[in-house]
Amino acid sequence: MARAATTVLPPLRRPARRRDGWNGLLMAPTLLFLLAFFVVPYANMVYMSVLYKPPDGPYLRVFTLDNYAQALGDLFYWRILANTFWYALLTTAVTLVLGYPVAYYIARAPTRRRGWLLMLLISPLLVGVVVRSFGWMIILGRVGLINTFVRWLGGPELPLMYNVFGIIVGLVHVYLPFMALSIAGALQNIPPDLERAARSLGASPWVTFRRITWPLSLPGVFAGTLLVYVLAVSSYVIPILLGGNNVLVMPIIIVQKLLDAFNWPLGSALSMVLFGLTALGVWAYVKLMNRVLRWTAP
């Protein structure tokens, strides 16, 4: 008589204990750093923004919302805010147009050449923003290289600095690597076989780019545009050096209120307004990004 087959089950094991304590210990240095250099300064700025400052004396420890009323009720500040956001959007658009071809070339270059191209792209970041701004002042100034060459040809002097053009040139030069690197990382994750397969099936280069390359590279585009926009909104050194007093942005106004007028409560209120509007725009952009990524998902 045949013996019935029996199934031997492995002995039950206790589930591994989660190492939440170790995870929290590993996150502690980062959390402490953010607490000390982000949360505490912003909390102090919020506290400073609700203090009262008399016209002819230091600020008092009397809580008031007059600083926010002045910041939000003056059309001059709204015009400065609009200009700040517009320059940031323009910088983001120009860096996207210039950075996408550079990123595509780097992503499709051979491995050995790709390393040299990445070093060439990152090399401007090794020089400080102040040094690079002074370099553009030498090129764009009234007695700079371009105007000297134009006058040698007999042409008129070109207004290339202390205006919006000079600021945009400086911002694009500084933030172009951030855009190109973000897009190049996304393009490297796209298999080149997809593009070759589309071309073999009769798709033109433009159709291949529009239907395959561009949708799959959108995460890098979104990350690059968000990074460049936030950096351009908060830029101070480039506008003050290449724009002078002819072009005002909100960081310049904030520094003037804090250091020149010694009006820390109003300067802090302006900082909070800039931070709040920028955060609101970033939140709306992230929501839009999530919807677009869902629409373009395969």
Residue pLDDT tens, the chain, 298 long:
445 455 555 555 555 455 556 777 778 888 898 888 888 988 988 898 888 877 776 666 778 888 899 999 999 999 999 999 999 999 999 999 999 999 999 998 888 888 888 888 888 888 888 999 999 999 998 888 999 999 888 888 888 889 999 999 999 999 999 999 999 989 998 888 888 888 888 888 888 888 888 989 999 999 999 999 999 999 999 999 998 888 899 999 999 998 888 888 899 999 999 999 999 999 999 999 888 877 766 5
For 181, other C-beta atoms within 10 Å of its C-beta total: 21
52 Cβ contact list (under 8 Å, min separation 6): 59, 60, 62, 63, 64, 66, 265
Q: How far is CA 32 from CA 44, 170, 214, in A?
A: 17, 35, 40
pTM of the model: 0.85
257 Cβ contact list (under 8 Å, min separation 6): 263, 264, 266, 267, 270
Q: What superfamily would CATH give domain 60-296?
A: MetI-like (1.10.3720.10)
| Structure tokens that stand for 258 in this block | 């804090």
Q: Strand, helix or coil at 52? A: strand
| Structure tokens that stand for 10 in this block | 């492995």
Q: How far is CA 261 from CA 41, 84, 125, 150, 162, in A?
A: 21, 21, 33, 41, 23
Instruction: At 126, give phi and psi (nearest 5°).
Output: -75, -10
